[in-house]
Chain A
């Protein structure tokens, strides 16, 4: 127990000193493992894990989905998505914020990254909303929150990582993410309607678009629908495996970026390279987390935590809520991906012993992490947004995000109350 505490403490110290979290986890995991089991097994463990983690067929799903998202981001689809959404809901109160959210939802259906979604949308939607006199807090808040939709709506890098850490079917996790993702979009839109209802000047309605125009702009986003249908439909119908779907998706997205986005060889090379670097970054974290997880397994933290909770005599729901609170606290200091990889090895077996469904718990974890992406003081989406909008205060964005945090918590409660929302689609697989 003291070993684990020391390991965790040491890791946070390294991270605070500016060492990348991947390598801090690896070092803390190695030292801890060496203290508990012995230096020699720890030595061979490090090499073995680094080797096994990269030489893995199923993990090729990560670079492939990253590549697909990067091609799509550069195919300038986000403008089309925004225009299409705006044609349909622009005339409502807060219509541009609604359009932003819907476009984010659409974008995240073909991209696995939350940060990419927020970054692209801020370029498209923010100038528009400013021009029409939207309050900065509503405008930036809706972009930051809209970005978090990407983490749950498949394809999702977070769900891939959860599936890998726990050995669950990634395809099932993807399908399970669809309904909660759509529910999130719906509740976000409600949050906009309520916010603009309370303060009508924060988001004035736009002009109604005639139907002919609507159909025309809708025709421009067929590519997104097509790509989503191929990838997720292919997984759902069992035409190909998740890994193959990612490969096909990346290829289709590349064709799309070349034909529609007019991408040249130089940009294609740049996209491949950027995706390769992102892959190396994620695998570094993955290797570090695997080494740390090995230490957690031998360090006895699971037994300790389990004994502690049994002693408290909590109901399964009580345990779940404690886990939720713990995630919120961790989310204040940790970045989402490392938080997921660090905590899942500890909480997953625990929650399984309390009888929760593995797929359901995966969605629960991702929703909680989504909340932590936009809550202060370390909301990654907020920071990304801040870097693309230099003249907006961080505090303004956080204020704008609050209604969406409320919507997220409501969604979490709904998922807890009605597990059906998560399990009905994968159950029909």
Chain B
């Protein structure tokens, strides 16, 4: 009881953090772009390195939204074949599909980890601002890993409550 309470609390905290991160990043991209264009036209001086910041922000945006998108089953799926099956079989096939998807995302996390290691080794930075890229690459890999683990755990939960993943209860 207490353990599951802690798990729910952690889930809420984690999903809340990643959601805020995604929303704030998207808003920041908009603001940065508006400021950049305005500054270029009004003061003839665009924001230095705006393009680079947006590139890094894109990676943060996509991968901070990945866990929620996946847990809420919002990826495009062709489920019309599944609907032909009886309800029980649907649940089994659905769970298998979730596990397989989790495995693919886990594989992606591993590949991104390898890529991050290379970036760390070479100390890659953005060309103009010289910001390090490694933290972003590690973030991408970590968020994929989190997504894979959570999806695998949630595979056996009842399917009707996907929207509740917003609140972080697995």
Binding site for B on A (CB under 8 A): 14-23, 26-27, 43-44, 46-48, 50-51, 54-57, 59-60, 63-64, 67, 240, 243-244, 246-248, 250-251, 254, 269, 272-273, 275-281, 283-285, 333-335, 337-338, 377-378
* Contact-size category for B: 35 or more
Q: Judging by beta carbons under 8 Å apart, are B80 and A280 in contact?
A: no
Top-9 shortest CB links A-B: A247-B33, A20-B75, A18-B97, A47-B115, A47-B111, A276-B22, A280-B65, A272-B23, A276-B65
What does DSSP make chain A's interface, helix, strand, loop or mixed?
A: helix
Instruction: Report the Cα distance A63→B37, complex, angstroms.
Output: 18
Name B's interface SS. Answer: helix
Q: Which residues of B contact A285 (CB under 8 A)?
A: 75-76
Q: Which residue of A lies closest to B59 (CB)?
A: A54
Identify B75's interface contact among A22, A55, A246, CB under 8 A.
Answer: A22
User: What 0/1 readout, one digit per residue, does chain B (96-117) give for beta carbons within 8 Å of chain A?
Assistant: 1100110011011001101100
Residue of A whose beta carbon sits closest to that of B166: A273
B8 at the interface (CB under 8 A from A): no
Instruction: Return the chain B residue nearest A240 by Cβ.
Output: B37
Task: Please give, as numbers and ranges, the residues of chain B lying within 8 Å of A334 by CB-CB distance.
Answer: 78
**What 1/0 mask marks residues of chain B from 55 to 83 whose CB sits below 8 Å from any chain A CB?**
11111011111101100101111111110
Does A55 contact B19, Cβ atoms closer than 8 Å?
no
The complex places the Cα of A56 from the Cα of B94 at a distance, in Å, of 34
Measured in the bound complex, the distance between the Cα atoms of B54 and A289 in whole Å is: 23
Q: How many A-B residue pairs have CB under 8 A?
A: 173
Asked if A20 and B58 make an inter-chain contact with CB atoms under 8 angstroms apart, the answer reads no
Alpha-carbon distance between A281 and B105 when the two chains are bound, in angstroms: 13
Whether B111 lies near A18 (C-beta < 8 A) is: no
How far is B99's CA from A151's CA once the two chains are assembled, in angstroms? Answer: 34
Q: Given contacts A50-B112, A251-B30, could you give 10 more A-B pairs where the C-beta distance is less than 8 Å?
A: A54-B62, A56-B58, A57-B54, A60-B33, A63-B29, A272-B22, A277-B22, A281-B75, A284-B66, A285-B75
Which residues of chain B are within 8 angstroms of A67 by Cβ–Cβ distance?
A: 26, 30
Are A335 and B78 within 8 A (Cβ)? Answer: yes
- A46 pairs with B78, CB closer than 8 A: no
B140 touches A (CB below 8 Å): yes
Docked complex Cα distance between A269 and B100 (Å): 32
- 21 cross-chain CB contacts under 8 A: A17-B93, A18-B81, A19-B100, A20-B75, A20-B77, A47-B114, A51-B115, A54-B140, A55-B56, A57-B54, A57-B55, A64-B33, A243-B33, A248-B33, A248-B34, A273-B22, A273-B68, A275-B26, A276-B25, A276-B64, A335-B78
Q: Are A250 and B68 in contact (CB under 8 A)?
A: no
Q: Tell me the bound Cα distance from A272 to B25 in angstroms.
A: 9
A21 contacts B76, CB within 8 Å?
Answer: yes
**A50 in contact with B108 given A19-B101, A57-B55, A247-B37 (CB within 8 Å):** yes
Contact across chains for B111 and A50 when beta carbons are under 8 A apart:
yes
B167 within 8 A of A: no
CA distance A47 to B117 in the complex (A): 11
> What distance in Å separates the Cβ of A3 from its nearest Cβ neighbour in chain B?
20
CA distance A48 to B111 in the complex (A): 8
- Whether the pair B111, A54 counts as a contact (CB closer than 8 A) is no
Interface centre among A63, A64, A280, A337 (most CB of B within 10 A): A280
Distance (whole angstroms) from the CB of B156 to the closest CB of chain A = 15
Contacts of A251 in B (CB 8 A): 30-31, 33-34
